[in-house]
Amino acid sequence: MNELPVPFKEVQLIWCAQLDKYIEEQLGRPWSLQQNGMYGQEQLVCFEVWANPDATAKVEEWLASPPADCPGRLNQPGYAESVQIGTYDILNELCNRGLFPEGDINVHVWW
């Protein structure tokens, strides 16, 4: 696959590492889609992205929280994210900001 184009206008399939990198570049905080969903190797994961105003508060809470030792992971106090957030929340907020288009995106999980 080629490098992830910005702002993803024609992309339908991307690598998870490219998406994680894009999230960090846009929001200034590391993220791991694989840790967030505990997805297996060589798995395709589909996200439906849309402008969702509810995502803004969730992402702002996440950005204001202390960085996790394991970005994206949940439910492990002191090691994981202290905010319950999903990759879909982040993608919807990127869509709110005009940085990601509405529609379906398939992510190839490979770690």
Q: What span, in angstroms and rounded, lies between the C-alpha atoms of 3 and 1?
A: 7
How large is the average pLDDT for residues 74-88?
97
The answer to whether residue 111 scores a pLDDT higher than 90 is no
Q: Is residue 36 part of a domain?
A: yes
Instruction: Give residue 6's pLDDT band: very low, low, confident or very high (50, 70, 90).
Output: low
Residue 2 lies in a domain: no
| Residue range 59-76, pLDDT digits in tens | 999 999 999 999 999 999
Q: Looking at the domain assignment, is residue 55 inside a domain?
A: yes
Angle at 3 between CA 53 and CA 71, to 5 degrees: 50
Look at residue 1 in the predicted model and tell me its pLDDT: 38
Is cis: bond before 71, omega within 30 of 0? no
Average pLDDT, the chain: 90
Q: What local confidence, expressed as pLDDT, does residue 56 receive?
A: 98
Residue 44 lies in a domain: yes
What angle in degrees, to the nearest 10, is found between the helix axes of 87-96 and 54-64? 110
Residue 51 domain boundaries: 13-109
Total domains in the chain come to 1
**What is the model's pLDDT at position 66?**
97
